Amino acid sequence: MGILCCKFLKDSPDALNQSLHSQSPQEPQAKVTLDDFETKTLLGKGSFAKVVLVQKRSDNQLYAMKILKKKEISIRNEQEHILSERQILATARSPFIVSLKYAFQSRAKLYMVMEFMPGGELFYHLTKLRRFNEETARFYIAEVIIGIEYLHSKHIIYRDLKPENILLGLDGHIKLTDFGLSKIVSELNFKTRTMCGTPEYQAPEIIMDCEYNKAVDFWSIGCLMFELISGTPPFQDPDRVVLKNKILYQSLSFSRLFSESAKNLIDKLLVKNVICT
């Protein structure tokens, strides 16, 4: 992957390399309870979880607290995904992965307290600007690739790369978040078969219900790169069946916004010759 991307990424800012050594994610620390935090505002909400901005009373430090309802987790049979997410967050040692600071529970809820990323979602900034110039896209993609390659080195398939799951710090660097769909696989069998992910970013292997490996994350990187430069995903349609057929059969179409090196890299990432076994 590194060799494939080197031409497109060769001019990434020096700050990228500096940031690799500037941060050190920590293990979840001493035992805390909900009373140790003051809730500030809602950051996001899903079907059985929400994320709130909290401030630790002892030192006024801000964190993002993910609150999950145990009953809903059980009803949706999400126990394995939640345990996997906690394990990934607690053990990640990459400056491009959000770190888990505290984890605790009550009778009805689970709490995961993570570092707060004040810059918000990359999706927000992309929506506001409509698209990024290629230099900016190159910078973000370089950091995403390092984060993804770190996960792969730990035998983790991310499976949910999209602008909404990329957070920005005040320093402008990114961190990947939301590992609810990530899969920790065997070192000997780096494959799985679960149907999951955001439809516009799903690789053909997933759509065709084939056994797949970490290559599905490379596909998502290609989709992300295309969207950052053009403002829209390479394949989109409100009709899921039509979207599926576009992903499987429609050829890529590049506008004048794409350089030759960007087109070359995206072409190599969005390969459709899938053979199910």
Of the candidates 65, 145, 151, 157, the one whose C-alpha atom is nearest the C-alpha of residue 104 is 65
How many other CB atoms sit within 10 Å of the CB of residue 80?
10
pLDDT at 261: 96
User: In CATH, what number is assigned to the domain containing residue 128?
Assistant: 1.10.510.10
Angle CA 30–35–40, to nearest 5: 105
Residue 275 placed within a domain: no
Q: Are residues 10 and 91 in the same domain?
A: no
Question: DSSP 3-state assignment of 169?
Answer: coil
Distance of alpha carbon 84 from alpha carbon 100, whole angstroms = 13
What's the total number of domains in the chain? 2
Distance of alpha carbon 201 from alpha carbon 247, whole angstroms = 9
End of a domain among 115, 148, 179?
Answer: 115
Distance of alpha carbon 86 from alpha carbon 99, whole angstroms = 10
pLDDT at 81: 85
Q: Which amino acid is at 178?
A: D
pLDDT at 220: 97
pLDDT at 197: 62
**Residue 229 in contact with residue 141, Cβ under 8 Å?**
no
Please count the residues of the chain: 277
Q: What is the DSSP string of 224-276?
A: HHHHHHHSS-SS--SSHHHHHHHHHHPPP---TTS-HHHHHHHHHHS------
User: In CATH, what number is assigned to the domain containing residue 42?
Assistant: 3.30.200.20
Number of alpha carbons in the 13 Å side-chain half-sphere of residue 94: 24
pLDDT at 86: 92
Q: Are residues 131 and 186 in the same domain?
A: yes
Tell me 192's DSSP state.
B
> Which residues of the chain are under the pLDDT cut of 70?
1-30, 187-197, 277
Residue 277 placed within a domain: no
Which residues span the domain enclosing 95? Answer: 24-115
End of a domain among 53, 86, 115?
Answer: 115
Catalytic residues: 160
pLDDT at 47: 74
Q: Are residues 85 and 221 in the same domain?
A: no
| pTM (2 d.p.) | 0.85
> What confidence tens digit (pLDDT) does each residue in 215-244 have?
999 999 999 999 999 999 999 999 999 999
Q: Are residues 41 and 107 in the same domain?
A: yes
> What confidence tens digit (pLDDT) does each residue in 182-227 have?
988 876 555 554 656 688 999 999 998 888 889 999 999 999 999 9
